[in-house]
Structure formats: structure tokens, C-alpha cells
Structure 1
Amino acid sequence: MNNIKAEVATNAPGTDNALLQLPSSLRVISLNCWGLKFISKHRHERLLEIGRQLAQASPEPSIVGLQECWTQQDYLAIRALTKHILPHGKFYFSGIFGGGLAILSKWPIEESSMFRYPLNGRPAAFYRGDWYVGKGVAGARIRFGPARKDVVEVFCTHLHAPYEGELNDSYLCHRTAQAWEMAKVMRHAAERGHMMLGLGDFNMVPLSLAYRLIEAHAPVRDVWRVVRPESALGSAESEAEKARGRGVPSAGECLVEHGATCDSRFNTWRWGKQMRKDLDRGKDSEVDPAVPDPRARRLDYVFFAGQAGQRWEVEDVEVGMTMRHPTLRCSLSDHFSIETTLVRQEASQTEKEATMSSYLPIETYDEILAMIATYNLRERKQRRLRLTHFATEVGIAIGCFVAVWWSPHNFVAFLLMLLSTLGLSAGVLDGLMGGLFVGSEIRALKEFEYEIGNAREQARRGLRSSH
């Protein structure tokens, strides 16, 4: 433990890459740990148990991506428990409070990077924290074989959450832009001829706009839909699933067939308040696998693409980390993990050359451009309101300072000074947000708009040339 504490990112000394043998399979795990300091209940105890479960997992994991692992204390504890099977790791620093991302590996990490998303929430929403943690993509270049191309580039991320629901989601533009950035880094890795893994809590459901953007602009596949292409496109309450008319699946089916990592009935953190209180008092409840589960959905993913000259296929995929804490009896996180085994095969010549991305229908790019335009108008209005508030508070403060001269009593003067100080402080904050942050956000929107417009033009040219 002390040796690990000496350096947050560690690689076992004396590793000779020339002695590496190309593995025939990879076991990959992605888990949102729900490790919010001071907020997540039983945080350290739960993350310790996550470390123990990783250490005891069978088959042994080769690569693990963690999200919401916010503290180095928790990361180092997990590293200490798993160092015999995952001797290499990296804890990623980002934003004001940290990005909560970590990658553990069986093989050496040759290079790492932390790319922060240009569009990443709003500082005014301090109670949500996305802007303050600096969400982005944690990257690790991992060598698992002796040849030059025997590299897997791992990207771990956590996209902005849809706090307001799908129909009124004002953060949809941010999450879509983040999915676009994630698709770009994965595509670039594939173009370098390396194997690629995209892990994380994407806060999206299968075949949503962000999902389609990733699969179209990065030559990757979603491990779950490779094995179960007819799995659910969201919770049974979503419009996409209602349109399919399949009814409400059971809690067991949601785990086994649909890969529901979030809002499962089996997860104690999704239980009602009374059931959670009973659990804290030692009164446990068992969930019948046959009970309908209308809210369960899949938000966590493993995307992959093979390296040049090699084809990797999905041998199995499952929802993991469904066990309870042995003494607390609570779930280990408010999410379950996605776990998959990828096996190596020789690629055909066609597959060796298939690293180009595809394109979405023109209407989809138009939909994204319309969304950007709508959000742009919203932010420009917000900027005007904030700057107006700032100017108003400056005028009020000046008025209070002048009024102090004619104040008949010290008490009235004190109230005027207090009003001017508090009002001007709020106005300055709003002025900074409107003048600096919103301006920066609008510029990032312009970049996103250009890139989507450029992709639309390329898709149009491709459509024209195919006819």
C-alpha cells in the first residue's frame, strides 16, 4: 500500500515488453462506483468491497475502467487489493474536484491523457457539479504484445447526466457534443491501427442520438448489442420501448437479456425510502427476479474495435457487480458493471482495411444542427439576462452608496451597505458567468456546429457518389 501511495500512476518496474506474449483474450470491466465524497453513503466501505470483488473475479479482468472514483484514498485502496492481477493503473486529475476516472491494467501503460470536454455543463448548476469536476475522456495507451501494433487504446468517460428527463433535457446538446468528441478520439485510435476500447457511463440509451453518433463516426461496436441485438432500447417506460410493444420485462430479464446497469429493482439504492430505512435497521428484502421492472435501463457501455490485422470478437457479455456488501447488505454502487470477454482472431483483408467511419442520415445531422441553434438562442438569452442583472446591481450599489450620505441613522446606513454588497456580489458572479463562461460556451457551440455541418456535407457527398 505504501509503495502505491508514492505515485498515483504506477507501472510495475522491470517489465520487459519484448517478453510480452499476445493474449488470446481480454476481460474488460466498466463500472460507475458512485464514490462521491461526503455525499455517497458508505462510500469507502463500498469501494473497498468493489476492489475485493475485482481481485476475486473469475475470469480475471485484464482492463478495468472506473467512473465516479473521486478520491485517491478509494483509488489507492482498490489498487492495493488488485495489484496482483492489475499491477498498472492511472488516476486522472481534472477540473476543480477531479474527473472521477481511473483505469487499471494487466499490462504497462505507455502513455496517458486527459481530454476535457469543451461543452461540459454550466457553473451556475453548482448543485450538479458536472462543470466543476471537468468531465472528459481519460485515455491510456496499453501495450499487450511485442509487435508495434500490439497496443490497445483505452478511453474511459462519464457523459453529462440528463437531470431533467429526456423530454425537457437542457443538457442534451452538451451530452451530444461529448459523444461526438468521444467518437473522434476512438476513431483516431482505430486509424492508428490500434485496438480500441471505449468504456464508461455514457448516460444514454441504445440507439439514442448520442449512441448513433458514436457508432456512425467511430468504427466501433457495442458489445451488448453484438451478442443481443434485440435488447431493450431504454426502460419499458420510454417511448422507444413502448413503440416496440414488447411489454414490461422482469427484473431478471432486464439484467440477463437487456443489460440494465441502472435503476434495476435489484439495486438497493433504487429502492423506496422505507425499504432503505428497513435495510439500514437490518431488515433485508429479497427481490423476486420475476417481478416486472419498468424503470431498469442500460447506461453503461463497452465499445470496441480490433487492431490492424487482427479481429476481436465478443465471447460473452454480462451485467456484473450485482452482489451486496457482505455486512452492510447494500449494493456496491448505484450502477452495476458491464463485463465482457473479447477473443482474438485473424482478420480478413477486407476487415484489415475497414477502419473508416460511416455516416448518419442527412436528417439526423439536420436534427443536431437544429438542436445546436435552439440551445445557442437559449444561451444568448441567458447571457443578456446575466449581464443585465450585473448592470442593474452596479446601479443599485451606486444608489445605495449615495443614499448613505443622507441616511438619518447608522442602522439604515448599515442596511444600505449590506444590500449593495450582497447585490453587487451576486451581480458580479452573474456578470462573470454571462460575460466569460457563456461566451466560451457559445464559441464551443460554434466549433461543434461547424464539425457537424462538415460531417453533414461529407455524408451528402457520399450519398451523391453512391447513386
Structure 2
Amino acid sequence: MADQMATIEDSQEPSADPLDLPSSLRVISLNCWGLKFLSKYRHARLVEIGHQLAKATPAPQIVGLQECWTQQDYLAIRELTKHILPYGKFYWSGIFGGGLAILSKWPIEESSMFRYPLNGRPQAFFRGDWYVGKGVASARIRIGTGRKDVVEVFCTHLHAPYEREPNDSYICHRTAQAWEIAKMMRHAAERGHMVLGLGDFNMIPLSLAHRLIEAHSPVKDIWRIVKPDSAVGAAEDSAEKARGLVVPSSRMCLEEHGTTCDHRFNTWRWSKQMKKDFFKGKDSYIDPEAEDHRAKRLDYVFFASQEGVRWQVQDVQVGFTMRHPTLLCSLSDHFSIETTLVRHPTVGEKTEDKVMTSFLPVETYDEILAMVAKYNIRERKQRRWRLRHFGAEVVITIGCFIAVWWSPRNFVAFILMLVSTLGLSAGVLDGLMGGLFVGSEIRALKEFEYEVRLAKEQALRAAA
């Protein structure tokens, strides 16, 4: 966890005594799609998200938001929900902010923002993952008077997949990010606290990152606790096709498979023609019983119970499927995951007596190590080419400066100076990325590789 801890900001007095240990806990995780300048109807949609949170039944008590990028949107949601969620934290990270926020019925005792060491590449400016400083927003929330009556909430948004696995060039980053948040949740559980991992994890169920989280921390995917036979991807994905099941309907995707992304009910996932007609005022009817080939689950609530208290999952559902009352568009390009946890009077088994980490098959660690080695070779090659480009541009610039002395025309001298300036600027940027960024990335890879090797050794000892 990050070294720096911050006292909660912009808190208000709660309307009820926050020190009574609740009998149930209502939790919501939602990717708001609040990209400034890029997301259509951004502020109007996020204001309506605030309205829907404020009137939700049962009322949410802990909410994790992703892609809530601006203070304007965050403060609007805070104002609308302050009667049920009087505490909140907007998390700052990177150049443009991480887009993460946590709202709570109870006081937030401590908070921190941990930025992932492997977190995209600055040259991919058109994707923006590196610039927003993706990481884990964490909040320590006290829900009772006991020493361990604490919920540690971890809200995150992992690196987006831009190609299908295993050909995704960022799969190494996303796997390393899953490793980091798994460690944080494991450490929280070892302190005897309840753990909630909320967010858009950009992974499908039972993928490598998903299995890694559940193996290296005691948390479990709430949807699969309730519906263990739910889909492991979109119907068109190879993992789901291998199960040999029929393509689910749109209704079944929501009710049984927890699909939060690319669903046919979501107006932002409609075809170009449907969206074009929609913005002209012509709505489209979506048959709930028609097959849905693309819907998948990328959003999760992971959960581990509090030491000495048995919490169980009462229900889980997909939420925020409604549309904006006047714009008639979906409130986000994702739906929410919502769950109710119920406290049972029976004292549960203490977590300090449990093994907090299970292990993946040894060949899975070999798979991760091979992935790291492959990515390491790629980045070292990139580093060499970028440094060579920098060196070549320095030589070209010096050559242009010398050529200016014998330039027969002023416009020729101008062209030489322009070429040298632009070329050197590009070379310096490439040199900085190759010499500094790629260097730091390779060092982060070494740390990740070392930790995976340690886990592999422990898995081998456990299997012996």
C-alpha cells in the first residue's frame, strides 16, 4: 500500500450513528464513462447517476466509481447523495487523474492512492492509460466499535485490452496490476478486516488475471459465488465457445451472467446506424429474448469476510440499466454490479487461522514468467531503437547546422533549421522514453518477475 495516508477530505456529519455494526451492507461498483471532452452528455449523465444512487432501494452504503474524471461531476454526485453517503473521497493520480472515487455511509479513517508500477506507455498518448496514472484507490472505513470492525475498500480500473488475449500487447501490464491489487487485498485480510475489491478490471471471469486475484488473496468474485456456472466471456469468445452452451439472450446475460459491458440494452454499444437514428430521435426496440453474442462481464465486486464475523452474499445483480429520463441514452457505457452482504450472528472462523494464499498450478507461473520474458525482449528492443533514433537525430541536427553555413538561399537555410529542430525534438522525446521510461518499466518488470518466481517456489513446496 502507498506510504502516504491522507485524512478524509470534504466529509460531513452523518445522519445516523456510524458506530453500530450493520446487519447488512449494500455495495455498488460502476464505471461512469466520464471522460472530459470525449464522453457524450458526460455531465448530464453523471448527474443522473447521482440521482439514481440517491433513490436506489435498498440504499447503497459503499460505492466505488471509475471513470469519474472531473471534480464537477464528483461534487454533483456528492451533493445528490450526501443524505445516504455523507463521506467520500475523490482520488488524484497521474497527469489527468485516475477517475476513481469512493463514497461511504461511514467515516473514512484513512485513504491512499497507489499507482501501478506497470501502467501503459507514454507513447500511446491516444489511449491515455499512462497519463491518467491508473492505480488502486483505497479507503479504510469503520463500520462498528470493535477493533476490527473495518471495511477496507479497494477501487481500481485496470489497463484496457486493445486486442484479444493472448495477443493483447498490454496483457503483461494488466496481469502485473492484478498481482498488485491482490497483494493489497491479502494484506488487508491478514489485518482481520473485511475486504471489498471494486472496479472495472477489464478482464473476463476465469482469465489469467481473475484466477491470479482469487489465488493470491482470500477474496472471491461475488457473482461466481452466487452463480458459479455463469459465462466466462462473451458468447463469441473462445473460452465461452469451448463450454458448448447455447448463446444466451439479452435478458439471461443480465440475470444469469452479470454482463456489464457491450450489452445490447446499452445505447452506447449500438451499431453506428442505430446510434445515428437514435440521435435523430428514432429509438430502437431491443428484444430481451434475442441472442446477445457480445455482452461480457468486466466489472467486479470481490469480497472477503471480516475476522470473527461471518458475512455472506445475500444477492447480486446488474444495475443502472435504466436510461436518462430526457436524453434517453444509457447512463454509462457500462452497467453496475450491485450486491448485498448480510452479517450472521454465528461467529465465523478467524482469518488468522486460515492460509491467506492459495496457489495457481506451477505451469501458470511459468506462463506468466514467459509472458514477462517476451515483453522484456520487446521493450529492450524498443529501447535500443529509441536511443538510436535520438543519436541519429543529434548527428542530423549537427549536419544541418553545418550545411547552413554553405546554404545558397535563405529558404534553404530555413528548411534545414526546421528539419533539424523538428527532428531533434522527436529524437529527444524518443530518447527520454527509451532512456528513462523504458528503463523504469524494465525495472518494474524485474520486481514483478521476482515476486512471481517466489510464488512459484512456494507453489512447488506446497505441492511436494
Bin for the TM-score computed over the shorter chain: over 0.9
Q: Give the structure-2-normalised TM-score.
A: 0.97
Deviation at 1:357, TM superposition (A): 1.2
Between the aligned residues of both structures, percent identity stands at 75
Change (3 A) 1:56 1:15: closer
**Corresponding residue for residue 257 of structure 2:** 258
For 1:238 and 1:266, locate their aligned partners in 2 and report how far apart those are by CA, in whole Å.
Answer: 19
Secondary structure, aligned partner of 2:130: helix
Contact kept, 8 Å, 1:191 with 1:355, in 2: the verdict is no
Contact kept, 8 Å, 1:310 with 1:352, in 2: the verdict is no
1:139-150 equivalences in 2 (<5 Å)? 139-150=138-149
Contact kept, 8 Å, 1:279 with 1:329, in 2: the verdict is no
**Corresponding residue for residue 374 of structure 1:** 374
For residues 330-370 of structure 1, give each alpha carbon's deviation from its aligned partner in whole angstroms, at most 9, with x where no partner exists. 00000000000000123443666225110111000000000
Contact kept, 8 Å, 1:318 with 1:339, in 2: the verdict is yes
Change (3 A) 1:287 1:349: same
Change (3 A) 1:248 1:282: same
**Corresponding residue for residue 343 of structure 1:** 342
Return 267-276 or 350-359, whichever deviates more: 350-359
**Corresponding residue for residue 410 of structure 1:** 410
Deviation at 1:273, TM superposition (A): 1.1
Secondary structure, aligned partner of 1:198: strand
**Corresponding residue for residue 310 of structure 1:** 309
**Corresponding residue for residue 452 of structure 1:** 452
Change (3 A) 1:461 1:22: same
Contact kept, 8 Å, 1:67 with 1:101, in 2: the verdict is yes
1:12-31 equivalences in 2 (<5 Å)? 12-13=12-13, 20-31=19-30
Q: Unmatched 5+ residue regions in structure 2?
A: 1-6
**Corresponding residue for residue 277 of structure 1:** 276
Deviation at 1:164, TM superposition (A): 2.0
For 1:233 and 1:241, locate their aligned partners in 2 and report how far apart those are by CA, in whole Å.
Answer: 6
**Corresponding residue for residue 441 of structure 1:** 441
Return 105-114 or 165-174, whichever deviates more: 165-174
CA RMSD of aligned residues (A): 1.4
For 2:118 and 2:360, locate their aligned partners in 1 and report how far apart those are by CA, in whole Å.
Answer: 22
**Corresponding residue for residue 268 of structure 1:** 267
Change (3 A) 1:14 1:61: closer
**Corresponding residue for residue 297 of structure 1:** 296
Give the partner amino acid of 2:97.
Answer: G
For residues 172-196 of structure 1, give each alpha carbon's deviation from its aligned partner in whole angstroms, at most 9, with x where no partner exists. 0000000000000000000000001
Contact kept, 8 Å, 1:68 with 1:99, in 2: the verdict is yes
**Corresponding residue for residue 171 of structure 2:** 172
Contact kept, 8 Å, 1:69 with 1:101, in 2: the verdict is yes
For 2:347 and 2:169, locate their aligned partners in 1 and report how far apart those are by CA, in whole Å.
Answer: 43
For 1:456 and 1:8, locate their aligned partners in 2 and report how far apart those are by CA, in whole Å.
Answer: 39
Secondary structure, aligned partner of 2:139: strand
For residues 417-445 of structure 1, give each alpha carbon's deviation from its aligned partner in whole angstroms, at most 9, with x where no partner exists. 00000000000000000000000000000
For 1:314 and 1:284, locate their aligned partners in 2 and report how far apart those are by CA, in whole Å.
Answer: 37
Return 279-288 or 412-421, whichever deviates more: 279-288
Q: Give the structure-1-normalised TM-score.
A: 0.96
- 1:425 equivalenced with 2:415 (yes/no): no
For 1:96 and 1:36, locate their aligned partners in 2 and report how far apart those are by CA, in whole Å.
Answer: 14
1:24-423 equivalences in 2 (<5 Å)? 24-345=23-344, 346-349=346-349, 353-354=353-354, 356-423=356-423
Give the partner amino acid of 1:425.
Answer: S
Secondary structure, aligned partner of 1:130: coil
For 2:41 and 2:349, locate their aligned partners in 1 and report how far apart those are by CA, in whole Å.
Answer: 52
Change (3 A) 1:23 1:8: closer
Secondary structure, aligned partner of 1:382: helix
Give the partner amino acid of 1:133.
Answer: V
Secondary structure, aligned partner of 1:119: coil
Contact kept, 8 Å, 2:8 with 2:110, in 1: the verdict is no
**Corresponding residue for residue 3 of structure 1:** none
For residues 267-305 of structure 1, give each alpha carbon's deviation from its aligned partner in whole angstroms, at most 9, with x where no partner exists. 000001111111111111121101110000000000010
Q: Unmatched 5+ residue regions in structure 1?
A: 1-6
**How many residue pairs were aligned?**
457
Return 447-456 or 8-17, whichever deviates more: 8-17
For residues 49-87 of structure 1, give each alpha carbon's deviation from its aligned partner in whole angstroms, at most 9, with x where no partner exists. 000000000000010000000000000000000000000
